[in-house]
Structure 1
Amino acid sequence: MRWMLMIPVLALAACMEREKVPSGAEDFATFCSACHGAGGKGDGPAAAGLDRKPADLTGLAARNRGVFPGTRVMAKIWGYTGGRDGASPMPQFGPLLQGDLVPYDGGDGIASPTPVRLVQIAEYLKTLQR
């Protein structure tokens, strides 16, 4: 009889289980690869239709004296760096900005509360550096 009392508790626990958070690679494939390409070189299938070629993300560290510019990359994804007139070809990435926050030092020595999915995509981009 006691086991029957556990059924509602287990059912509630199953409902409260969090959704699986996509990995940085999965989010890159979903949000970035159409323009930046699967390998991050700016050669995605949607790149041809853009006025300006998407950035080659494999050279971010090389263009920053060998240091991956994590904070700057996340700011670009977040939408803080829209260019001179505030317009950017980068779309809004709402899902990457929601969810749990984690302390993250993007290379500037300051650990700031940052959405976990944004951190994961920045960490994935580090793996694409040549």
Structure 2
Amino acid sequence: MRYFRIVASIVISSVATISAAEEFSDLGKDLFVEHCARCHGIDATGKGFDAIDLRTQPADLTKISERRGGVWPMLEVMSILDGYLKVQEPRDDMPVITELNDGPTVQFDTGNGLVTPIPSKLIEVAEYLESIQSPKPERYVP
């Protein structure tokens, strides 16, 4: 009986962990659909309904790591989403999504050993984009 309780506890905690991971991923996808899909498309390939009216064709967001030699650039992606660094031109049609900076923050390691609070919505969208990379990233930089 004790063995059964231990196994049951492990199974229940595993299911809870999987559900939490799916919820996290679903929130990132939901935020993407709400803020990005009109231009980048539901499938994130740059063929959204509003893309035809833009001066700059939206990027295929499923190929971010491929364009960077197999590297997933987490901080760069978050910076593009929140508009903090405008390092790529022309980007006149790319809106700053200030709503991603609202709400709770989570601790994020920026890669130099320093941990800083980052808005959780911003991380959720960036992690969703990471999850749809084709091919999958081979290496990661913060």
TM-score (norm 1): 0.74
1:82-117 residue CA offsets vs partner (Å, 9 max, x unmatched): 3477963221212211111112246x4554311000
Structure 1 match to 2:72: 68
Structure 2 match to 1:3: none
SS in 1 for 2:52: helix
Pick closer, same or farther for the CA change 1:85–1:65 going to 2, 3 Å: closer
SS in 1 for 2:81: helix
SS in 2 for 1:43: coil
Structure 2 match to 1:16: none
Distance 1:117 1:60 in 2: 19
| CA drift at 1:38 | 0.7
Structure 1 match to 2:61: 57
Structure 1 match to 2:85: 81
CA contact 1:37–1:43 (8 Å) conserved in 2: yes
Computing the radius of gyration from Cα coordinates, the structure with the larger value is 1
1:20-68 residue CA offsets vs partner (Å, 9 max, x unmatched): x980000000000000011111000000000010011111111122121
Amino acid in structure 1 at the alignment position of 2:46? G
Unaligned runs of 5+ in 1: 1-20
Unaligned runs of 5+ in 2: 1-23, 135-142
TM-score (norm 2): 0.68
CA contact 1:82–1:88 (8 Å) conserved in 2: no
Q: Percent identity?
A: 34
Bigger mean CA offset, 44-53 vs 61-70: 61-70
